[in-house]
Structure 1
Amino acid sequence: MRKSVIVYNKANELAVSLYETMREWLENRGIAASGCDSHSCRTGEADPEAEFAVSIGGDGTFLSCARAVSHRPIPILPIHLGTFGFITEVTQNEWSEMLKLWLDGGLRIEERLVIDVKVWRGEHIAAQFTGVNDCVVSTVGSCKLIRLALSLGGFDAGHFLGDGLLLATPTGSTAYSLAAGGPIMVPNMAAMILTPICPFSLSWRPMVIPDTDQIVIKPDPGQKVDIQIAVDGQESHPLEKHDRVIITGRQGGVKIIKSNKRGFYEVVRSKLGWSGGPYA
């Protein structure tokens, strides 16, 4: 029997109801569906034999789903139940139509870049993550300036003073990075965005960099505040003064089953409320 995985929020009654309906729908077509709670599923936890995944919820549920299958990226169909949602293009009333189209080969897959994040402590890796949206180095629980040394593509890019540094994927360009003044990028682009968060110097500006460049961030040894790294706003790890955060881009780390009803530009226009309509 073919296999699939459904990631959903077990605390959401609508998501639970939709999960039960979808699981029955799939099983009637000879496809087993295993469920995973979006709040507890860990990186690489999904069934390794699953052919595709479905996320039921908002963008946060999709991020959990993407990490659950990150060990072996499989196509994900994001179903939107959230309050905003840039990634989740398929509405709750369209899921059966979209699933049937996907199973019949009528929908395309869009591959997107992810970031692999490693925290080096001396000669060993203290923590590692996969980010679909972004990685943020900032203070823990206080509103104080931090000092960070930055290297881009093997070159010294100087020292940063401010609230923090954010590195976003094109998928994450419409999330925290956008709120911090970063640009919007088309999701399948092969690039990353370095966005300073409230820099002390006005000369610091967001920068689009190639996905092939390695980014290294080091806390200043004389730092007097606690610093952490946060990935996708869902996973975090405290940093020590001699740690090195090394970030690299990886193409194809996420595969999204695209809706045939709307595209990225339409989603941006409607979600951000661009005035004038599509024909202005």
Structure 2
Amino acid sequence: MARDRITFVASDTLEAQAALQRLRHRYGEAGANADVIVALGGDGLMLSTLHRVMEEDLGKGHLPIYGMNQGTLGFLMNPYAEDDLLLRLSVAESSSLHPLRMKARTRSGRIHEALAINEVSLFRETHQAAKLRIFVDNRMRLDSLTCDGLLLATPAGSTAYNLSAHGPILPLNAGVLALTPISAFRPRRWRGALLHHEAVVRVEAQGGDKRPVSAVADNAEVRDVAEVEIEEDREITLKLLFDPGGALGERILMEQFAP
């Protein structure tokens, strides 16, 4: 597939905006005729670009995205360089991602759906701990989890919030998701579970007015939820491009040996 017609997107920092202007002047701007997106920023910009691709398609399907770091962390980005961009794009390796689809029902009965690249999380809304009942594939697995919250992470998201919550790092093509508690109080020794990527997870919030719970799919929040259902959406495939030897699967593997 050709990758020589580029549309550029950038975060709103001065550095990223200046780079955007230089690269557009040098390589042009294909707009709706593009066959690749080059994103200039950090991981936050990459996530927002992925969501934009899913929601808008940018006019022609799910375009591959090549990120160049103009942010802070840049785990999902390539090193920034202005020279030989077309060559880098032509030899870039592709990593495929499938998002999680969250379907949340509030206590008032409203239904909200959202997609997540990294994780779907449930959080307590007040000083009261959340009480959650967990089902996997319509079978109750945990009757009551008292905690600050719970998250279901993809392999791409396993090195983010999931890792900070002491969840496992997941190899990109392992076909599993990580179900990780956040500050579990009871049962105190439950550390979460690894689930097959086709599993359907349903979480019921217990406690009503006393223990309100919110659900968050990446940055889309639904408050006062009664029930949340989460599953991987295999009909959506997102493609990230990386320089040779630095594809996402390799980066995730390297995180397991980081000092």
More displaced 10-residue stretch of structure 1: 256-265 or 200-209: 256-265
2:39 paired with 1:51? no
Counterparts in 2 of 1:15 and 1:263: CA distance versus 1, 3 Å: same
User: 2:14 & 2:94 partners in 1: Cα distance?
Assistant: 29
2:102 paired with 1:101? no
Among 183, 198, 211, the alignment partner of 1:225 is 211
Measure how far apart 1:81 and its partner are: 1.9
User: 1:262 & 1:195 partners in 2: Cα distance?
Assistant: 27
Among 59, 63, 66, the alignment partner of 2:47 is 63
The one-letter code of the counterpart of 2:174 is M
User: 2:39 & 2:6 partners in 1: Cα distance?
Assistant: 11
Helix, strand or coil at the partner of 2:84? helix
User: 2:95 & 2:247 partners in 1: Cα distance?
Assistant: 12
2:165 paired with 1:180? yes
* CA deviation string 1:33-59 (max 9, x = no partner): 4xxxxxxxxxxxxx5x64322221111
The one-letter code of the counterpart of 2:239 is K
* CA deviation string 1:172-198 (max 9, x = no partner): 000010011111112343221100011
1:137 equivalent in structure 2: 122
* CA deviation string 1:94-152 (max 9, x = no partner): x54344332xx322321112101111358976221110011110023x34311111111
1:7 equivalent in structure 2: 9
2:251 paired with 1:249? no
* CA deviation string 1:180-236 (max 9, x = no partner): 11111123432211000111122311211111111111111535133211122x221
2:192 paired with 1:206? yes
User: 2:228 & 2:53 partners in 1: Cα distance?
Assistant: 24
- Whether contact under 8 Å (1:113, 1:132) holds in the other structure is yes
1:195 equivalent in structure 2: 180
Measure how far apart 1:239 and its partner are: 2.4
User: 1:143 & 1:253 partners in 2: Cα distance?
Assistant: 39
The one-letter code of the counterpart of 1:97 is D
Measure how far apart 1:267 and its partner are: 4.2
RMSD between aligned alpha carbons? 2.7
- Whether contact under 8 Å (1:23, 1:32) holds in the other structure is no
1:42 equivalent in structure 2: none
More displaced 10-residue stretch of structure 1: 259-268 or 149-158: 259-268
Between the two structures, name the one with larger relative contact order (CA 8 Å, sep ≥ 6): 2
User: 1:269 & 1:199 partners in 2: Cα distance?
Assistant: 27
Identity %: 23
1:17 equivalent in structure 2: 18
- Whether contact under 8 Å (1:181, 1:206) holds in the other structure is no
Q: Unpaired runs of 5+ in structure 1? A: 34-46, 276-280
Q: Give the TM-score of the pair, scaled to structure 1.
A: 0.78
